[in-house]
Chain A
Amino acid sequence: MLVRNTYNEFIKIIAKPRSYIGLGVLTALIFVILFAMKADGTSFVSFVTASFEQTLSFNGNILNGNLIAFIILQMLIVHIPLLVALVTGDLISGEAAMGTIRMLATKPISRTNIVLSKFIAGAVYTLILTLWLAFLALIVVKWMFGTGDLIVLNSSGLIILQEQDIMWRYLCSFFVAYLALLTVSSLSICLSAFAENSIGPIVSTMGIIILFTIIGSMDVTVFDSIKKFLFTTHMASWRSFFEDPVKMKDIWQSIIILVVHNIVLVAIAIIKFNKKDITS
């Protein structure tokens, strides 16, 4: 019953026009970035290497597909949560708003399984978005710009990763990025269980992400103790795969925190939905 209901939930997702907004916006954003890189990518690269270029020269194909894929991932990981929440934030509250939730609750499936099937359907949608991003970033971009070593700027300086050492990092990064987006999906489903309209959970999800991101980026000691528990802190942990050596301890910590967030948020949604007095 859970599988069949998950299938039904997924059909509902793909039947909504807004589900395609995410894919469309993602595609448009990536092609805007590609256009910008094609037109003026060299100056972007010199912005990265500017600190060193007074004394050193960087030779070789720096502006390659690997670098642009990294830029895309870095730029869009901030915006994709909105695209995820746009669909998943509507999964329970949308039914309440439309008045179909009562009919859904009369089906021979437990309320727990209803929430779980919505969570799984949302997870599949998030996976499709992530795979689409991976396809555009790793296949289309590399086809357009070629491949080569990856130059990464982080807080410890510049790291130049060799071409043959990059693909596995991207695959692992997309997995962690997916886990982060899944947490956004779970958060919006959880908020959706509390709401009776579609907009509330979507806006609240984005509000929480913005709030947590600002707290995480502020260099104020009073927030240091809570920063590591905020899921937004770990949304950027995919970047750790581009460190040398890879900080596996930090990555595992991020994975654990994101998984715990998912479990807790879905559990809250299940508890709330089970106790919900459906009157619409």
Chain B
Amino acid sequence: MRYIFFSLLIFYSLSANSQTADQIIAQLVSKINLVKDYSVKANIKADIPMIKVLPVNATIYFKQKDKFKVISKGIAILPKQGFTDVSSFLSNKNTYVAVDGGIKALNGVQTHVVTVIPTVENSDIVLAKLWIDTKNKVILKTDLTTRGSGSVTMNYVYGTQLAFGLPDQITFTVDIKKFKMPKSISSDINNSEKAKKSKSKIGIITIKLSGYLVNKGISDEFFKKKN
């Protein structure tokens, strides 16, 4: 009898937490859905091992659910995943379960930690851990583990577009797979330096966003056109 009672208690508390997490995610998704499309000016600074690049200005375009385009005069480096993946992943609530991870402070802000686990087999996202500011209904931090691109951590800073849940700054911390730059492909055959192996595995990409134009309407054709 005692075992049954405790089992019921654990089941009840787990399902109650799960419900709370679902509610938080639902609130978050409803805020994400406020934005149908946007364009924003971005200053992209990439600090990646074995890549030397100066900050680049670009314009980023987004349209629900997952249309994304970057127009840049120079070469802009962005993480392969993380920009639109989380919002489009969360939008389809039949494809994941949300587990409550409790309340934690993040940079002085009380956040609700929610772990999202996909329920479909072919999902590229393996696990997403979200630090959600329930007061403003925005994500402050995401730990994203993917099949194809390793893990990506995103930290968001909000400002002018808090009402739409759009950040003013995103800092991506990406896993850079260990690689060796072969001498043959560097074709610098006379360079006496030996081909280097990357030591650091962490790349940091900081994107400062400004001048949002939200819900002005961007055609689907625009995303198909080549730059």
A residues with a Cβ closer than 8 A to B are 47-48, 51-62, 74, 148-149, 151, 153-160, 162-163, 213, 216-217, 219, 224, 227-228, 232-237, 239, 244
Contact = CB atoms under 8 A, between A and B. Distances in A.
A60 B50 contact: no
Contacts, number: 135
Interface string B45-78: 0001111111010100000000000101111111
11 contacts: A54-B80, A54-B148, A57-B78, A57-B79, A61-B75, A153-B185, A154-B188, A155-B195, A157-B49, A162-B54, A239-B188
Contacts of A53: 80
B74 A60 contact: yes
B52 A56 contact: no
B181 interface: yes
Given A55-B80, A160-B53, A60 B188 contact: no
A157 B188 contact: no
B45 to A, nearest CB: 12
B187 interface: yes
B71 to A, nearest CB: 8
Q: Please classify the interface of chain A as helix (H, G, I), strand (E, B), loop, or mixed, using the class held by over half of its residues.
A: mixed
A166 to B, nearest CB: 11
B227 A60 contact: yes
Contacts of B150: 54-55
A158 B51 contact: yes
B60 to A, nearest CB: 9
Interface string B69-100: 01011111111100000000000000000000
Interface stretch (B7-15, B22-30, B110-118, B169-177): B169-177
A56 B79 contact: yes
Contacts of B80: 53-57
* Most central of A160, A228, A239 by chain B CB within 10 Å: A160
Contacts of A158: 50-53
Shortest 7 CB-CB contacts between residues of A and residues of B: A157-B50, A160-B53, A59-B70, A51-B179, A60-B72, A149-B74, A60-B75
Contacts of B79: 55-57
Contacts of B70: 59-60
Nearest to A160: B53
Contacts of A155: 181, 183, 186, 188, 191, 193-196
Given A149-B56, A159-B51, 13 more contacts: A55-B152, A60-B74, A61-B75, A148-B74, A148-B75, A154-B186, A155-B194, A156-B196, A157-B181, A157-B196, A160-B77, A213-B189, A216-B189
Given A47-B185, A216-B189, A159 B52 contact: yes
B101 interface: no
A62 B75 contact: yes
Nearest to A147: B73
